[in-house]
Amino acid sequence: MSADQTYIIIGAGQAGGWTAKTLRDQGFEGRVVIFGDENFPPHERPPLSKEVLLGNAEKEICLLWPPGTLEDADIEMRLGTRVSEIAPDEHTLTLEDGKTVAWDKLMIATGGRATRLPVEGADLDGVYTLRTIDDADAIRSKMTPDATVLVIGAGWIGLEVAAAARKQEATAIVVELADRVCARALSPEMSQWIHDLHVRNGVDIRCGVSFDHFEGDSRLQRAVMSDGWVIDCDIAVVGIGLTPNVELATAAGLATDNGIIVDDKGQTSHPDIYAAGDNANHPNPLLGRRIRLESWENAQNQAICAAKAMLGGEDSYAEIPWFWSDQYDANIQLMGLPEEWDETAVRGDRDAGEFVEFYLKDGKLEGAAAINNPRDLRFTRRMMTSGKTFNASDLADPELKLQKLLKG
Ligand X SMILES: Cc1cc2nc3c(=O)[nH]c(=O)nc-3n(C[C@H](O)[C@H](O)[C@H](O)COP(=O)(O)OP(=O)(O)OC[C@H]3O[C@@H](n4cnc5c(N)ncnc54)[C@H](O)[C@@H]3O)c2cc1C
Q: What is the 3-state secondary structure (H, E, C) of 228-268?
A: CCEEECCEEEECCCEEECCHHHHHCCCCECCCEECCCCCEC
- φ/ψ of 46, rounded to 5, equals -50, -40
260 belongs to the binding site for ligand X (CB under 6 A)? no
DSSP per residue, 167-181: HTT-EEEEEESSSST
Binds ligand X by CB under 6 A, chosen from 21, 91, 105, 131: 131
Q: Which CB, 194 or 360, lies closer to ligand X?
A: 194
CB atoms within 10 A of CB 62: 22
In the chain, the amino acid numbered 59 is: K
46 belongs to the binding site for ligand X (CB under 6 A)? yes
What stretches of 81-201 show up as alpha helix (H) in DSSP?
133-142, 156-167, 188-200
SS3 24: helix
78 belongs to the binding site for ligand X (CB under 6 A)? no
Q: In angstroms, rounded to a whole number, what is the distance separating the alpha carbons of residues 280 and 107?
A: 11
259 belongs to the binding site for ligand X (CB under 6 A)? no
In angstroms, give the least distance from the CB of 38 to ligand X: 4
What character string, x for contact with ligand X (CB under 6 A) and - otherwise, covers 139-158? ------------------x-
Binds ligand X by CB under 6 A, chosen from 45, 195, 292, 308: 45
In angstroms, give the least distance from the CB of 324 to ligand X: 5
Q: In angstroms, rounded to a whole number, what is the distance separating the alpha carbons of residues 210 and 212?
A: 6
248 belongs to the binding site for ligand X (CB under 6 A)? yes
Binds ligand X by CB under 6 A, chosen from 8, 13, 103, 220: 13
In angstroms, give the least distance from the CB of 276 to ligand X: 7
Q: Which CB, 360 or 371, lies closer to ligand X?
A: 371
381 belongs to the binding site for ligand X (CB under 6 A)? no
Q: In angstroms, rounded to a whole number, what is the distance separating the alpha carbons of residues 323 and 261?
A: 22
10 belongs to the binding site for ligand X (CB under 6 A)? yes
Q: How large is the angle between the packed helices 156-167 and 188-200, nearest 10 degrees? A: 20
Q: Which CB, 131 or 166, lies closer to ligand X?
A: 131
CB atoms within 10 A of CB 48: 26
What stretches of 10-73 show up as alpha helix (H) in DSSP?
14-25, 51-54, 69-72
327 belongs to the binding site for ligand X (CB under 6 A)? no
Q: Where are the beta strands (DSSP E) in 260-374?
A: 260-261, 273-275, 280-284, 289-291, 322-327, 330-335, 343-349, 354-361, 364-371
Residues in the interface with ligand X (CB under 6 A) total 36
In angstroms, give the least distance from the CB of 388 to ligand X: 27
134 belongs to the binding site for ligand X (CB under 6 A)? no
Q: In angstroms, rounded to a whole number, what is the distance separating the alpha carbons of residues 127 and 219?
A: 8
126 belongs to the binding site for ligand X (CB under 6 A)? no
Q: Which CB, 176 or 390, lies closer to ligand X?
A: 176
**Which stretch in 41-49, 204-212, 228-236, 360-368 sits in contact with ligand X by CB under 6 A?**
41-49
Q: In angstroms, rounded to a whole number, what is the distance separating the alpha carbons of residues 223 and 29?
A: 55
Q: Which CB, 229 or 324, lies closer to ligand X?
A: 324
Q: Which CB, 334 or 360, lies closer to ligand X?
A: 334
295 belongs to the binding site for ligand X (CB under 6 A)? yes
111 belongs to the binding site for ligand X (CB under 6 A)? yes
* Burial (Cβ within 10 Å: 0-12, 13-18, ≥19) of residue 389: exposed
Q: In angstroms, rounded to a whole number, what is the distance separating the alpha carbons of residues 5 and 406?
A: 48
In angstroms, give the least distance from the CB of 196 to ligand X: 21
Q: Which CB, 121 or 259, lies closer to ligand X?
A: 259
Q: Which of 349, 351, 356, 353 has its CA nearest to residue 384? A: 356
**Which stretch in 104-112, 166-174, 190-198, 282-290 sits in contact with ligand X by CB under 6 A?**
104-112
Q: Which CB, 5 or 115, lies closer to ligand X?
A: 115
336 belongs to the binding site for ligand X (CB under 6 A)? no
Q: Which CB, 327 or 344, lies closer to ligand X?
A: 327
* Burial (Cβ within 10 Å: 0-12, 13-18, ≥19) of residue 33: middle
**By beta-carbon distance, which residue lies closest to ligand X?**
13
320 belongs to the binding site for ligand X (CB under 6 A)? no
Q: Which residues bind ligand X (CB under 6 A)?
A: 10-16, 35-38, 44-46, 48-49, 82-83, 109-111, 130-131, 157, 245, 248, 277-278, 294-297, 299, 323-325
